[in-house]
Structure 1
Amino acid sequence: MKLGVFTVLFAGKPLEEALDYIASKGLDAVEIGTGGYPGNAHCDPDTLLGDAGKLKAFKQAVESRGLTISALSVHGNPLHPQKQIAKEFHDAFVKTVDLAERLEVPVVNTFSGCPGDHEDAKYPNWPVAPWPNDYQEILTWQWEQKVIPYWSEWGRYASQHNVKIGLELHGGFSVHSPGTLLRLREAAGEAIGANLDPSHMWWQGIDPVQAVHILGRAGAIHHFHAKDTTIDPSNVNKHGVTDMQSYALMLDRAWQFRTVGFGHDLKTWADILSALRLVGYDYVVSIEHEDGLMSIDEGFTKAVANLQQVLLREPLGQMWWV
């Protein structure tokens, strides 16, 4: 496995300065934002697709520092019920797939999106209860009329451009669990897989090791985020895991994101990484730092130090004891 980082963390630095800093920490890979929610501070698809010289220089900037690009990330909601919003996210996704092909980057990360509850809706609707039956009707309409048709078409497009789609399993979107990911993959094809982030499993009550097994046995893990979560035992009984309070209200929230090792111990992280290897994932572990108790540099540095202790880097040898 290789260790990487989602570079939106360093959006305040110019690309080459950010790459120098990342390389100085001994990392192997970068995941770069190209639009949507992550923004495109380091990588504007319009610029690079329109200028072969700039495309070459961009690629050289990464490779000259001994780094590779693990994924381009363009998280958004291409199924948003407001057509203009959906179009902006969709266009950014398509350009990112085109750019990934040009850069020979194998994965584009994004969200599945979430539609409204009918054709003329204004806002997304994320059903989280099976009853009253209205919610089941909404869910059926969303998947049959929006989610499956969209990703069937654009999954094929990605495949034609030699790109896999890593959907981040994230609350608020139609694909948010191993089960919903596998449902979409079965309907829309194997270009669809997970950008698996344990932090979003923990707050939903899903064991990340089991999520790795469920998805990995289906060959459905395309990329992996390293981010932690802590659950407050008092606040979760007050607000539940679907706590709608701002992330900024850390003292009262049921759960919050932490950097690797500050929500769960390194044995837990070793179990996750071992499970990844067991199911055949031997790609990049990409750090995502969204810890409200740590600065950018401190949270990133501690995540690197913790993961370096448990990352399985060397190729498997023969079982000499067998």
Structure 2
Amino acid sequence: MRLGAYTACLHDRSLDETLKVLGELGLTSAEINTGGFIAAPHIPIDDLLASAGAREDYLGRYAQAGITLTGLNCNGNPLNPDPMVGPKHAADLHRSIELAALLGVKRVVTMSGLPGAHPGATAANWVVNPWDSQWLDALDHQWNEVAIPFWRDIQARAADADVKVCIEMHPHNIVFNPPTLLRLIEQTGATHVGAEMDPSHLFWQGIDPVAAIKYLGDRVFHAAAKDTRINDENVRLFGVLDDRFTRTPADRNPLNLGGHNTLNQWPDQPSWQFVAVGRGHGDDFWVPFLQALHEVDPDMAVNIEHEDTELDQIEGLRLAAENLIAAGHKAGI
């Protein structure tokens, strides 16, 4: 099992500086962004698609640093009905699969996407509690008319490329928990589409990630190491489905997520928040989590995703790496 990091948090550093940081932290795996919601600062995609020599030189930089490129990350919304977003994110995913095959990287991480609620919709719509039949109608449209055809095509592309596409089970997507992931796999007949097991999004939904691994079994292809802290006092008042987000002011350069969409600001008193490995859950979680992943695939990569806003880039990565590596030793992997 390789322990590493998703390098998006080091977007302001060069690739060589980034790989040096990972090596100094004792990590041996890297996952690089290739489009979707954010840019691709650590990989010259067009050059690599065009030249075998460029690919050899690029991978040589990893070998020299003692790091293995274990995944390409293209998280976005390829099903977004906004014509400025969905088609671009879908094209990024197609290109990422092609590039992964050329590089010999067997994993592409992405999200399932989220369509509109009906034909002609211009905004994505997440249905989570369809007690009224109109929302089952919306889900029927989203699954049968949009998601299934799209993901059958992705399955075919991935199988042809011998690449595994790993879906992050992320709320505000049609696949956000183990049953919806299994539904997508079964309804598309997928052999090359499975899970990227990121526990952070499961924690706040009340899902046990270790139980999820056992439920999905060999459909888990890849993993992320990101923790979540549940703030119990705030949960008692606001619950985990919380709409108190606010717009990021223009003078603070909000992150563009495609088209006119930008990343909003979290509530001041969040019910839950993403934190570095060990700051939400201790070894009583991370040890069995790594053991369960190892049972599925001893060669699986587990890459830290740093989104702890209370810690800077290096501090957050260092703490996460220390805790993850320590848990790995205790897990005997």
**1:48 and 2:48 are equivalent in the alignment:** yes
Alpha-carbon offset, residue 54 of structure 1: 2.4
Distance in structure 2 (CA, Å) of the matches to 1:177 and 1:208 = 10
Pair 1:265-2:282 in alignment: yes
- CA change 1:10–1:239 in 2 (3 A) is same
Q: TM-score, normalised by structure 1?
A: 0.93
Instruction: Kindly indicate whether the alpha-carbon contact (under 8 Å) linking 2:31 and 2:70 is maintained by their aligned counterparts in 1.
Output: yes
SS at structure 1 position matched to 2:279: coil
Contact 1:198 1:226 in 2 (8 A): yes
Matches within 5 A, 1:1-322: 1-188=1-188, 189-216=190-217, 219-246=218-245, 248-249=265-266, 251-311=268-328
Asked if the contact 1:38/1:73 (under 8 Å) is kept, the reply is no
Q: How many residues of Structure 1 are paired with residues of Structure 2 in the alignment?
A: 314
C-alpha deviations, 1:129-159, integer Å up to 9, x for none? 1212111110111101111111011111111
Q: Distance in 2 between matches of 1:290 and 1:91?
A: 26
Of the structure 1 ranges 79-88 and 257-266, higher mean CA displacement relative to structure 2 is found in: 79-88
Higher RCO (CA < 8 A, seq sep 6+):
2
Between 246-255 and 108-117, report the one with greater CA deviation. Answer: 246-255
Structure 2 Cα separation of the partners of residues 199 and 208 of structure 1: 9
**Is the CA contact 2:108–2:166 (under 8 Å) kept in the aligned structure 1?**
yes
Aligned residue for 1:64, secondary structure, equals helix
Q: Deviations over 1:67-100 (max 9, x none)?
A: 1111101111111112342111111111111110
CA RMSD of aligned residues (A): 1.7
Alpha-carbon distance in structure 2 between the residues aligned to 1:313 and 1:33:
30
CA distance in 2, matches of 1:117, 1:314: 44
Structure 2 runs not aligned, ≥5 long: 246-263
Q: How far apart are residue 56 of structure 1 and its match?
A: 2.0
SS at match of 2:85: helix
Distance (whole Å) between structure 2 residues aligned to residue 225 and residue 29 of structure 1: 12
Does the 8 Å contact 1:223/1:285 carry over to 2?
yes
Q: d(CA) in 1 for partners of 2:315 and 2:287? A: 21
Deviations 1:233-283 (A, max 9, x none): 121122221223337446411110010000011221112112222334531
Partner of 1:319: none
> Would the alpha carbon gap of residues 312 and 277 (structure 1) be closer, same or farther in structure 2, given more than 3 Å must change?
farther
Give, in whole Å, the separation in 1 of the partners of 2:313 and 2:138: 40
In the aligned structure 2, how far is the partner of 1:154 from the partner of 1:15?
Answer: 29
Shift in Å, 1:183: 0.6
* Kept after mapping to 2: 8 A contact 1:34/1:44: no
| CA distance in 2 between partners of 1:115 and 1:23 (Å) | 40
Query: 1:202 and 1:36 mapped to 2: Cα distance?
Result: 24
* Residues 185-209 of structure 1, C-alpha deviations (whole Å, 9 max, x = no match): 1122121101110000001110111
Question: In 2, Cα distance between the equivalents of 1:252 and 1:208?
Answer: 25
Q: Which has the larger displacement, 40-49 or 180-189?
A: 40-49
C-alpha separation in 2, matches of 1:262 and 1:269: 11
Contact 2:291–2:331 (CA under 8 A) maintained in structure 1 = no
Q: 1:140 to 1:57 in 2, by over 3 A?
A: same
Query: What letter matches 2:304 in structure 1?
Result: I
Where structure 1 has 5 or more consecutive residues not aligned to the other structure, the ranges are 317-322
SS in 2 for 1:193: strand
Does structure 2 conserve the Cα–Cα contact (< 8 Å) formed by 1:2 and 1:313? no
CA distance in 1, matches of 2:328, 2:235: 31
- Which range moves more in the overlay, 136-145 or 281-290? 281-290
For the Cα contact (< 8 Å) 2:226–2:274, is it kept in 1? yes
- Which one-letter code corresponds to 2:100 in the other structure? A
**Cα contact 1:257–1:290 (8 A) shared by 2:** yes
Q: Which moved more, 1:205-214 or 1:234-243?
A: 234-243
More moved, 205-214 vs 46-55 = 46-55
Q: Distance in 1 between matches of 2:237 and 2:191?
A: 40
- C-alpha displacement at 1:5, in angstroms? 0.3
Q: In 2, distance between residues paired with 1:21 and 1:201?
A: 29
Give the ranges of 4+ consecutive aligned residues of structure 1 lying more than 6 Å apart after TM superposition: 313-316
2:193 alignment partner AA? I
CA distance in 1, matches of 2:282, 2:268: 21
Distance 2:315 2:267 in 1: 18
Secondary structure of the 1:224 match is strand
In 1: Cα distance, 2:187 partner to 2:311 partner:
41
